[in-house]
Chain A
């Protein structure tokens, strides 16, 4: 079993940071909607509040790690220009996708959307985390603030979902491969 360094980075970016963000996002949406509703009768202990603060900060960190690894580590490999005359485009995913009318859409729609929409995620969730850190349980008595935090968090979930979906499809159609080969284990 072996994996290339570029594949490993793609995994860290998509499965490690991106997918974990999506999972965390669904959790925080439920928590903010249910427990911080003005109608909620469930008391919020200082421990619960502290937990959610740390949780949101961790989510913001995950979102930043996802976009930074995507933009500055993986994207340069994806968009590398193939030397003139290159026949095998497998090391040049963007060129590979653009070489066929059946796959060009994954670049012109998928990657073009993903590369920009993904950046709405860290902006939105950093805002949500900062508002929660400042107001905490006060959000119950500030429904407009809570509403905005929920809407931005929901949008970040949607944007991360779009980026994640196209990321997965891009990996299926033109995986970012190459670099050092890492041997994980020897088979029987």
Chain B
């Protein structure tokens, strides 16, 4: 009787890279979310008010807290799905680093002000 092909593949180099890939992509997404929310809050009075979680710090409190929550949720989901798998890390790295690079650029006020 043929056994079904395992859905989980182990890396030839030891631990599967899925867990690391999940952390890397989630960090890229979380960073990008931070930049995106900062720009969105700057352009929308209602969002700015909505993100005013802690009045003394203003919308910065909501922008950063929301981005951190998104990052952690994405990380949790990706880790749950990829933990025991080996994934195409090259593409994931490229996407994560692109998002991180964009976050750096989008937090720079002269660029953020273009939107």
- A residues bordering B, Cβ < 8 Å? 67, 71-72, 75-76, 79-80, 108-109, 112-113, 115-117, 119-120, 123-124, 126-127, 130-131, 134-135, 138, 141-142, 144-145, 147-149, 151-152, 155, 158-159
Q: Give the number of chain B interface residues (Cβ < 8 Å).
A: 41
Nearest opposing residue in chain A for B38, CB measure: A116
Chain A interface main SS type: helix
Q: Does B11 contact A142, Cβ atoms closer than 8 Å?
A: yes
Tell me whether A131 and B30 are in contact in the complex, defined as CB-CB below 8 angstroms, given that A71-B64, A113-B108, A159-B104 are known contacts.
no
Picked from B14, B56, B100, the residue with its CB within 8 Å of the CB of A76 is B56
Q: Does B97 contact A151, Cβ atoms closer than 8 Å?
A: yes
Q: Which residues of A contact B26 (CB under 8 A)?
A: 127
Q: Does B34 contact A119, Cβ atoms closer than 8 Å?
A: yes
- B residues bordering A, Cβ < 8 Å? 11, 13-15, 17, 19-21, 23-24, 26-27, 30-31, 34-35, 38, 54, 56-58, 60-61, 63-64, 67-68, 71, 89-90, 93, 96-97, 100, 103-104, 107-110, 112
Q: Does B17 contact A123, Cβ atoms closer than 8 Å?
A: no
Tell me whether A148 and B93 are in contact in the complex, defined as CB-CB below 8 angstroms, given that A112-B109, A127-B24, A158-B104 are known contacts.
yes
Q: Does A131 contact B23, Cβ atoms closer than 8 Å?
A: yes
Q: Which residues of A contact B107 (CB under 8 A)?
A: 113, 116-117, 120
Complex: A158 Cα to B103 Cα, angstroms? 13
**A-B Cβ contacts below 8 A, count:** 109
Known: A116-B63, A158-B104. 6 other contacts (CB 8 A): A117-B107, A127-B24, A127-B27, A131-B19, A134-B19, A148-B93
Q: Does A124 contact B100, Cβ atoms closer than 8 Å?
A: yes
Q: A113 → chain B, closest Cβ, in Å?
A: 6
Tell me whether A113 and B109 are in contact in the complex, defined as CB-CB below 8 angstroms, given that A135-B15, A148-B96, A152-B100 are known contacts.
yes
Q: Does A72 contact B109, Cβ atoms closer than 8 Å?
A: no
Q: Which residues of A contact B14 (CB under 8 A)?
A: 138, 141-142
Picked from B11, B31, B93, the residue with its CB within 8 Å of the CB of A123 is B31
Complex: A147 Cα to B19 Cα, angstroms? 15
Q: Does B109 contact A134, Cβ atoms closer than 8 Å?
A: no
Q: Does A75 contact B24, Cβ atoms closer than 8 Å?
A: no
8 A-B contact pairs sorted by A residue (CB < 8 Å): A113-B107, A116-B38, A127-B23, A127-B26, A135-B20, A145-B24, A147-B93, A151-B100
Q: A32 → chain B, closest Cβ, in Å?
A: 14
